[in-house]
Structure 1
């Protein structure tokens, strides 16, 4: 096979994995726009229905290290295909679930797929393309997060208004089948390159670069989801705009995130810690200013664009940091990273809700900004203290003498 043909095949493989990441995140967030419909049909209250999101995240947090260890001797192509099959099964089961209990089982299966896929698939670009293109290829895979975030809420709301909520899961399962077919056709054999044990993951916590990355990622995702969970109520109650404007605002946020993700693909190859540090500070400033700008719809949209843009860069940035933090290889770092961010997402939503309940919507955004600043300080002070240079190729699988995304 010629170099050009091999390169083309590598990029097609990357795109097949990117589609898988898109469908996984789409399926994870679809229920947010469907909760009222699901609660009515399955005879549970909204709070109970919200467990669908919590169960998926917590299962993903446990699954990431377990799947990484359990499958570390298997061909990575086989593992990715199996996880995509699990995604299709989970969506199919959700679509026909007769009771809320069965629906929760389906969501837990999805959580296993999400945890395993992100621990393995997010760092697979280094095995598919040449070293200079790794960060850019990884940005395509992580772009699935931004695109799915843009699509999931409007799609869920649209389906709920026209048909049964079950149709949304049918759509997710159908897209999962498309991703599976592309992966079967495009993914080459990717032999396991390392044996991962739980002791390997525990040992990673003794590596300063990895500890810094996990702590910084935890602060980041807590800050993001403390604020993002309450964007819609903020727009409705403080900015006082209607549902159509709320949908447009979320769409603008998501599109800005997609742009930020791809721009980060270039900036991270030059300076990882600088990209992450600046993006965190700008994110903090944007969310803190939102309550002050509530009187101006134009000002709010401008801040949402800024927030969305820097957020789009952060998952890729922290993922790049963590994939280079482990002397044992990218998958070890990413397994702990996925566990950390899933727990942080849940924590951010809970803490944000506590802030809103106790002090109001404005306080939630100020709290989020403060957490983001703390995360930036941790990264810049501890990260720079013993930072080792990231290779200019940006290869996530390249080892570093002193082992680092949602950024």
Structure 2
């Protein structure tokens, strides 16, 4: 690859990363706007919350469906089409005359999120040199961390200064910028293989893929059982005000960005080690949070540690899954996206039950226990299934199926 082609490849990665940022920003922006939306559209706050749940559930279904239905199309065409869908969804939400139209717009966004992540998250290896795949992928997944940091403060600012509709206008405009960059920078990316629903089902019989999906389910359930209730924890147990809560969430998000890029290097040494150490540290951090609630400094330190390891974990699990499927990375990532979307919903519900029944402290202890179980599953099952984890170059290589049906990764 020439230096000119390499630069264009990285610009292509940036265009996809911006797309991932806008998608997650659009998904999270309304969370801080629910009271204003409920009031303006004359619905209950619980009903308004359906727009968040619906986006995630549609995304869970869309990931495998979009992967199968578009498996013969140029990936550039698919990614650009999904970005257009994002712009349409945000535009429709901005002018929605009632809650039904707004809910439809959010469901369209769910299709964009599910499809984009199943395809875009694994596209980096087609745009840069093999040895740069993990770093390029970390740039794309960093869009999640950055959007998480920006979405809540931006939503609060929009709510205080203008109508909630402005949030969707901002999402749509940023989506247009991502669309222009993708049209200008993305090369043709021909489809590599035809994917069928049967192919997705057969992936569950691949031990490495099955281990990854189980571990991801535990991880995202644990994360969102705890993270959903960070603000109430800071307010009720730590006893800090809104400004400190905003600062704490900002610190957590920035730590996540740092952790994401740090993982781009540690995953090159060991995928299994990076994931499992990060899971254990996450578990310890969330368990200690209630115990150190009387120390604001201690809480902030734990939030930094938690943010660092959380920033590494989605990229780590994605790297694991992208090398787990004999049919290619998109097949593995489709089921991965479905799994994490369902786990996010399950974690939020599980956390809510724990808080309602036993209190905030119990929720964090429960989340820690779930994370530990996920780490044990990954180590015990992962080590039995593979004694070695592919290197970054191997992870980016084209998988070949051996006569026994296992995967032999061809290193360049």
- Give the TM-score normalised by structure 2: 0.96
Contact 2:130 2:392 survives alignment (8 Å): no
Alignment of structure 1 residues 119-198 onto 2, 5 Å: 119-198=118-197
Q: Tell me the matched-pair count.
A: 402
Query: What is the CA–CA distance in structure 2 between the aligned matches of 1:193 and 1:339, rounded to whole Å?
Result: 22
Contact 2:321 2:329 survives alignment (8 Å): yes
Aligned partner of 1:296 in structure 2 is 295
Aligned partner of 1:321 in structure 2 is 320
- Give the TM-score normalised by structure 1: 0.97
Q: Structure 1 stretches of 5 or more lacking a match?
A: none
Aligned to 1:25, what secondary structure does the other structure show? Answer: helix
Aligned partner of 1:353 in structure 2 is 352
Contact 1:330 1:396 survives alignment (8 Å): no
Shift of 1:397: 5.2
Change (3 A) 1:201 1:276: same
Contact 1:284 1:370 survives alignment (8 Å): yes
Query: What is the CA–CA distance in structure 1 between the aligned matches of 2:97 and 2:219, rounded to whole Å?
Result: 38
Residues 105-140 of structure 1 show CA distances to partners (whole Å, capped at 9, x for unaligned) of: 000000000000000000000100010000000000
Aligned partner of 1:254 in structure 2 is 253
Query: What is the CA–CA distance in structure 1 between the aligned matches of 2:382 and 2:138, rounded to whole Å?
Result: 22
Q: Is residue 285 of structure 1 aligned with residue 272 of structure 2? A: no
Aligned partner of 1:23 in structure 2 is 22
Segment drifting more, 40-49 vs 122-131:
40-49
Shift of 1:45: 1.2
Query: What is the CA–CA distance in structure 1 between the aligned matches of 2:249 and 2:335, rounded to whole Å?
Result: 30
Alignment of structure 1 residues 5-404 onto 2, 5 Å: 5-387=4-386, 388-393=388-393, 395-396=395-396, 398-399=398-399, 402=406
The list of structure 1 runs, each at least 4 consecutive aligned residues, that deviate by more than 3 angstroms after superposition, is 400-403
Query: What is the CA–CA distance in structure 1 between the aligned matches of 2:92 and 2:374, rounded to whole Å?
Result: 39
Cα RMSD (Å):
1.0
Change (3 A) 1:152 1:397: farther
Query: What is the CA–CA distance in structure 2 between the aligned matches of 1:384 and 1:48, rounded to whole Å?
Result: 45
Query: What is the CA–CA distance in structure 1 between the aligned matches of 2:372 and 2:349, rounded to whole Å?
Result: 19
Residues 324-367 of structure 1 show CA distances to partners (whole Å, capped at 9, x for unaligned) of: 00000000000000000000000000000000000000000000
Query: What is the CA–CA distance in structure 2 between the aligned matches of 1:69 and 1:397, rounded to whole Å?
Result: 22
Contact 2:130 2:397 survives alignment (8 Å): no
